[in-house]
Amino acid sequence: MNPYKILNIDYRADKRGIIEAVALAMRERKFSVQEVAIAQKELLNPIDRAAHDFLQFVDVKPLQEQLILSKPQEQTVFDLNRLSIFDENS
């Protein structure tokens, strides 16, 4: 169960944002009342929330930042001329 998905919020959501999201989720009825309640409970508990913060999101930024993005080696590109070697009667 991903409480962030159930409440349709991102990891920056504060307490107020969570409560608002709960009300909306209850109205939308996409998830059961129990699921919404558990999601709320877990996100309002700092330990559970920290665990979910670790599990539910991936941070690829550090992986991207360590990459050195260089321009590919320049090669003299000649114009392409059609080859006739593969023509049926060649």
Partner 1 sequence: MKKKNKSFESILARAEKLFDKENYLLAKKEFEKAEKLEKQNNITEKLKICKQEIEKLKVKDLIKKARKHTKKKKLRNALECFEEAYKISKEDSIRERIEALNRILRDSDIEKAARNAETAGQYLKAAELYEKAFASSKQDAHLLKRALCLVKAEKYKDAVSVFKDMNFSDTCSLYNYGFALAKVGQHYKCLKTWDDITAKDNDFLEQKEIVRSILAKDIYNRFTSAEDFVRLYKEGKYLLDSTGRQDLAELVEYCKYAWIKELWTDEQYETIWELVFDFPATVEPALIALYAKTCFKLAQSSGTRLTDLAMFWLTAVYNSELSGKFSSEAKEREIIRQKLIRMAEAVIKQDINSKDKTAQLALTYWDIDKKLIKYIVALTKDRKEMFHLVCTPRFANLFGKSAQILRLIKKNKNFFENTEHYLMTGCYYSSAWQSMYHLETGQYKKAFDSLPEVIDEDEFATYGMLKVKFFCGLYCLEIGDRQLKQCFDALPALFDISSDYEKKLIEKAIESYELDELNRYEEILNIIHIKRPSKEIKNALSLVMSRRAIQMYNKNQVNDKTLNMILQKALALNPKNEHARVSLDDSKIELKIIALDKAISKYKMNKACKIAVESKSEKVRSCFFEFMDYNIKALYEMNAEYEEKLFFLKDSYKWCAIVDKSHPMLYELNEMIRHLEVK
Of the candidates 12, 27, 34, 69, which one interacts with partner 1 according to CB under 8 A? Answer: 69
**Cβ–Cβ under 8 Å, residues 25 and 6:** yes
Footprint of partner 1 on residues 23-62 (CB under 8 A)? 46-48, 50-51, 54-55, 57-62
**Cβ–Cβ under 8 Å, residues 52 and 46:** no
Instruction: Please give the Cα distance from 11 to 25 (Å, whole number).
Output: 17
Residue 10 binding partner 1, by CB under 8 A: no
- Would you tell me which residues interact with partner 1 (CB under 8 A)? 46-48, 50-51, 54-55, 57-64, 66-75, 77-78, 80, 82-83, 85-88
